[in-house]
Structure 1
Amino acid sequence: MADVRTYTLIYVVLLVLGTGKFVFFEFTPYDIALAATFVLAIAKTLLIAGYYQHLIEEPRSITYMMVISVFMVLLLTVAAGYSIQ
């Protein structure tokens, strides 16, 4: 299990990544800011799932199952959006 120093470091990184979204939208064109925001969101999601939900300490099979379930949720969201149109 990670110690307090690791959790504090992850918290600071998440804070910096969250601030990065604001910086991108203030100082870069919209298209670049949007793409960068998606990259930051993926990085934040991986850090939260890995450390705060302890997936880093789990066997790889559970991690793969989580990735597949997130992919399936995305597919269902796309399908629902397509059916609304």
Structure 2
Amino acid sequence: MTVEWPGIHPGTHVLFFTGGKYLGTASARPYGYTTVLGKTRDTVSVQYRWPLKDDALCCPQGGPSVVTFTLNGTTVQANGQFPPEN
């Protein structure tokens, strides 16, 4: 599930559930320019982009980076690189 909000600083949080139980978010903080690319029964692939130093907020040039989240019992493991911290 995603929770999104628009505006000058848009953001998206990806939330994970299994068997009706909330497992947590994909990352500690939300990121803008986030797209869920696909999913299977046990995985979700999420693409992240980010603005570089001189980018307009409409047109981020950073990335893309794809992180694949895999359900392992009742935990979710991430494989890939998240956007850099600003």
Normalising by the smaller structure, the TM-score range is: under 0.3
Higher helix proportion, which one?
Answer: 1
Q: Which has the higher strand share?
A: 2
Larger Rg: 1
Q: TM-score, normalising length from structure 1?
A: 0.25
Where relative contact order (Cα < 8 A, 6+ residues apart) is larger, the structure is 1
